[in-house]
Amino acid sequence: MKRMWRRRRESAPGVLGARYVLSRIGQGLVVVVGAILISFALANLTGSPSVATGGGMLTAEQVWQLDEEYGYHDPLAERFVNYVTDAVRGDFGQSYRLGAPALDEVMAALPYTLLLVGGALILALILAVAYSLYAALHRDTALDLFLRGALVVMLGLPEFWLGLMLILVFSVNLHLTPAVGYAGWSSTILPIVSLGLPLAPSFARLLRSELLDVLDSDFVVVLRAKGLSDRAVVLRHGLLNAMPAFITFAALQVGYLVGGTLVVEAVFAWPGIGSLMLSAVTGRDIAVVQACVIVLATSYVILNLIADMVVLLIDPRVRLGRI
């Protein structure tokens, strides 16, 4: 049994950094290839979409003709090569329902989803930083304990239900915001809150424990001995040292955010990828589902790559290969 994980190479920091970046990019590419394989398998396990397209009204002959058009009569290997070469060029074929190129549909919806996900991430981040700063400075006070309890409850909030409750309170009763659809900035508030609020507790709990870990470490004792105030220690040293672990964690959570986006978009009739994908799934619009899967997987990979680069930039330990 070799202990591969303990082997440490002694190289220049720059080389290690570059190797790290390359290996992360390699892993990202593997994921995108995996997504392409899955989406291909998807189209070919479901059988021909021609039956669904016609809504069961087509004769066997017409179905056969449609299959011929979509290339379902070619050998599997040939279809696979065609699919991959087309996918790499961004061509996923036409949407069966809308007639437009599938990728165009997805790209038109992408900004709305990014707005939602970005807003939710920022909201969760603000709440998490505010809470964990308070918890670090006032550990185990009554309010800290109360907030910890509130976080456990918030962790269990289903996004779709929170969204409906927000609509009930703010749109139906108070008439403050539009209930559904995209209509200017005021319509973004409720979807962002219902996506970001359930995300905040896991961020806050992680950041709090990271921050408390940092505050218990030796160098903080030195800083305190130097005469730095609690506030200065937490703000200048604690938060910055807690960041790398937090950023990595936050980027991984985006995978779960995709799921949250889906239900939140469904609740608010939001014109993003979630709604598109959901209607494509129920309508068996395979081309659009494939494009959605690949675009989402790619953006997820890019986001994690950015997070890794940021960590590399702010945490010298990673650059030196100590983690």
Partner 1 sequence: MTTESAVSTAVTTNGARSGWLRRLWGQKSLFLGCSLALILIVGSFIITWIRPDPSQQHLEYALSPPGTNGYPFGSDPLGRDVLAWCAAGIQTAGIVSAAVVLISATFGAAVGLVAGYFGGWLDAVLMRIVDLQLAIPPILLFLAASTIVEPSTFNLIVLLSIAGWVPYARVVRTKTQSERERPYIAAARLSGAGHLRILVTNLLPAVASTLLVLGSLSAGYVVLWESGLSFLGLGIRPPRASLGYMISQGRNLLTTSWWIVTLPGIAVVLVVLAFNLIGDGLRDRAGLDARTDL
Which CB, 228 or 299, lies closer to partner 1? 299
Rounded Cα–Cα distance for residues 33 and 40 (Å): 11
Alpha carbon of residue 235 to chain centroid? 28
Of residues 252-311, which lie at the interface with partner 1 (CB under 8 A)? 252, 254-256, 258-259, 262-263, 266-267, 277-278, 281-282, 284, 286, 289, 292-293, 296-297, 300-301, 304
* Binding flag, residue 114, partner 1 (CB under 8 A): no
Compute the radius of gyration of the chain from its Cα atoms. 24
Q: How far is the CB of 13 from partner 1 (least distance, A)?
A: 25
Binding mask 206-245 for partner 1 (x = CB under 8 A): x-xxx----------------------------------x
Q: By C-alpha distance, which of 158, 175, 323, 152 is closest to 248? A: 323
Q: How far is the CB of 153 from partner 1 (least distance, A)?
A: 6
Both structure tokens of 5: 């994980």
* Binding flag, residue 4, partner 1 (CB under 8 A): yes
Which CB, 192 or 257, lies closer to partner 1? 257
Name 132's Cβ contacts closer than 8 Å, sequence gap at least 6: 204, 207, 208, 211, 242
* Binding flag, residue 57, partner 1 (CB under 8 A): no
Structural contact between residues 132 and 208, judged by C-beta atoms closer than 8 angstroms:
yes
Instruction: For the beta carbon of residue 76, count every other beta carbon within 10 angstroms.
Output: 9
For residue 101, give the DSSP letter: B
Q: How far is the CB of 82 from partner 1 (least distance, A)?
A: 20
Query: CA angle at residue 98 from 95 to 101, to 5 degrees?
Result: 45
Q: How far is the CB of 30 from partner 1 (least distance, A)?
A: 7
Of residues 142-171, which lie at the interface with partner 1 (CB under 8 A)? 152-153, 155-161, 164-165, 167-168
Rounded Cα–Cα distance for residues 23 and 15 (Å): 12
Which CB, 114 or 228, lies closer to partner 1? 114
φ, ψ dihedrals at 101, nearest 5°: -60, 135
Rounded Cα–Cα distance for residues 35 and 296 (Å): 9
Chain residues in the site for partner 1 (CB under 8 A): 1-5, 27-28, 30-31, 34-35, 38-39, 42, 45-46, 152-153, 155-161, 164-165, 167-168, 172, 202, 205-206, 208-210, 245, 249, 252, 254-256, 258-259, 262-263, 266-267, 277-278, 281-282, 284, 286, 289, 292-293, 296-297, 300-301, 304
